[in-house]
Amino acid sequence: MERRLILAINPGGTSTKAGLYNNNELIFEESIHHDLSDLEKFSATFDQMNFRRDIVVEVLKKKGYELEDISAVVGRGGTFKPLASGTYRVNSRLLDDIRDGSTLQADHPSNLGALIAWAIADKASIPAYFVDPVCVDEMIDEARLSGHPLLPRVSLSHALNIRMVAYKAAELMGRPMNQMNLVVMHLGSGVSVNALRKGRMIDTNNANDDGPFSSTRTGGLPVTGLMKLCLSGKYNAGELKKMLLKKGGVFSYLQEEHVGRVRQRAKDGDQKADLVLRAMVYQMAKEAGAMAAALRGEVDAVVITGGIAYNSWITDLLEQHLSYLGRILVFPGEAELEALVRGVLRVMDNIEEEKEYS
């Protein structure tokens, strides 16, 4: 097989993951931790681009590789304007939109992925890509209405890992992914539950706004109760945001966010810990049922992924709730670097057409 080295980059809140692949074979993977003191030197996430790029290039050279050895660079796609799923070439329009910031739906480190990929690829005169960004939006029209025109439902999800495990499920079942109906559940610090109809993500909960609560996020809340909380005068906007997204969910009940440790507390007899975990799973199962309804009950498999899926007690309980839908497949953790590389290879091998950001 022709040697094609692909560098994949996934920026996170306090780390940048980088991996080098020869076709789909991993050569090395590095998770580069960033001290908060280093990141706090930058006034905006965008300003971290050169800092993170230089560290990735340094790691590449320490591993014995030069930019001239690489065939392509791919970065995680961010919260850009709504886009269809697929593999996109980074172009000047995207770069301008990220720098301008007016089309970004949130300030998130994933917005740096395409920038870093382009900055590295440009020096080597090779293509830069991003794949299945956070902002993948293929929702059907009915899914966009929330109940008030001032508050439309927005499609932001763990699309990269969701579509990756959808491809893996299809391979396992011996069928093309674009001919299957799947409910895919990404269970992490945020929970995204998606309905995929023939490969299209027709509906999803926004992990910041609705759906199940998770280890640190509240998910959907009683609307009038939230309204009263916001108008109480007890909290400012920053405090409320932290309460809802970083100190909500399991943490708000137990002051512990690590699901494994909470499960151990439950095993040791902590009834409240047991109840909170069961309530979280109950909400996850309800959301999966809702997505099955979006598929009109025509579900080929329920696919469970994300960090929480390493906990077999959680996945077993979900299977008890959801076995009526059919086959349950579990792919714990995330494989986002691999997902990025697979997206590039599908374009290189003419399995998919390269998409243009416009």
Residues 321, 289 share a domain: yes
List residues bridging with 184 in a β-sheet.
Answer: 194, 303
Residues 172, 113 share a domain: no
What is the number of other CB atoms lying within 10 angstroms of the CB of residue 32? 17
- Backbone phi, then psi, for 331, in 5-degree steps? -125, 90
Q: Can you give the CATH number for the domain in which 121 is found?
A: 3.30.420.40
By CB atoms closer than 10 A (0-12, 13-18, 19+), residue 60 is: buried
- Backbone phi, then psi, for 27, in 5-degree steps? -95, -50
- Domain assignment of residue 67, yes or no: yes
- Domain assignment of residue 281, yes or no: yes
- Domain assignment of residue 151, yes or no: no
Residues 97, 72 share a domain: yes
Which pLDDT tens digits describe the chain residue by residue (358 residues)? 788 999 999 998 888 999 999 999 999 999 998 887 888 888 888 889 999 999 999 999 999 999 999 999 999 999 999 999 999 999 999 999 998 888 888 888 899 999 999 999 999 999 999 999 999 999 999 999 999 999 999 999 999 999 999 999 999 999 999 999 999 999 998 999 999 999 999 999 999 999 999 999 999 999 999 999 999 999 999 999 999 999 999 999 999 999 999 999 999 999 999 999 999 999 999 999 999 999 999 999 999 999 999 999 999 999 999 999 999 999 999 889 999 999 999 999 999 999 999 9
Residues 303, 221 share a domain: yes
- CA–CA distance, 193 with 62 (Å, rounded to integer): 39
Residues 106, 47 share a domain: yes
List residues bridging with 329 in a β-sheet.
Answer: 303
What is the model's pTM?
Answer: 0.91
Give the pLDDT confidence score for residue 225 in this predicted structure.
96
Give the pLDDT confidence score for residue 46 in this predicted structure.
87
Q: How many domains are there within the chain?
A: 2
- Domain assignment of residue 107, yes or no: yes
Sequence-distant (6+) residues with CB within 8 A of 263 are 273, 277, 311, 313, 314
Give the pLDDT confidence score for residue 273 in this predicted structure.
98
Using alpha carbons, select from 219, 125, 202, 120 the residue that is nearest to residue 162.
202
- Domain assignment of residue 145, yes or no: no
For 46-111, where are the alpha helices, taking DSSP H only?
A: 49-62, 92-100
- CA–CA distance, 84 with 139 (Å, rounded to integer): 10
For 136-270, where are the alpha helices, taking DSSP H only?
A: 159-173, 223-230, 237-245, 249-254, 259-267
Confirm if 195 and 166 have CB atoms less than 8 A apart. Answer: no
Residues 171, 102 share a domain: no
What letter does residue 198 receive in the DSSP assignment?
T
Residues 345, 328 share a domain: no
- CA–CA distance, 79 with 108 (Å, rounded to integer): 7
- Domain assignment of residue 153, yes or no: no
Strand order of the β-sheet with 191-197 is: 200-204, 191-197, 181-187, 301-306, 327-332
- Domain assignment of residue 148, yes or no: no
- CA–CA distance, 217 with 156 (Å, rounded to integer): 15
- Backbone phi, then psi, for 352, in 5-degree steps? -130, 155
Residues 81, 9 share a domain: yes
Give the pLDDT confidence score for residue 12 in this predicted structure.
87
- Domain assignment of residue 43, yes or no: yes
Residues 182, 328 share a domain: yes
Residues 213, 88 share a domain: no
Residues 164, 134 share a domain: no
Residues 346, 326 share a domain: no
Q: What share of the chain is helix, strand, coil (3-state, %, to 5)?
A: 45, 20, 35
What residues make up the domain containing 328? Answer: 160-332
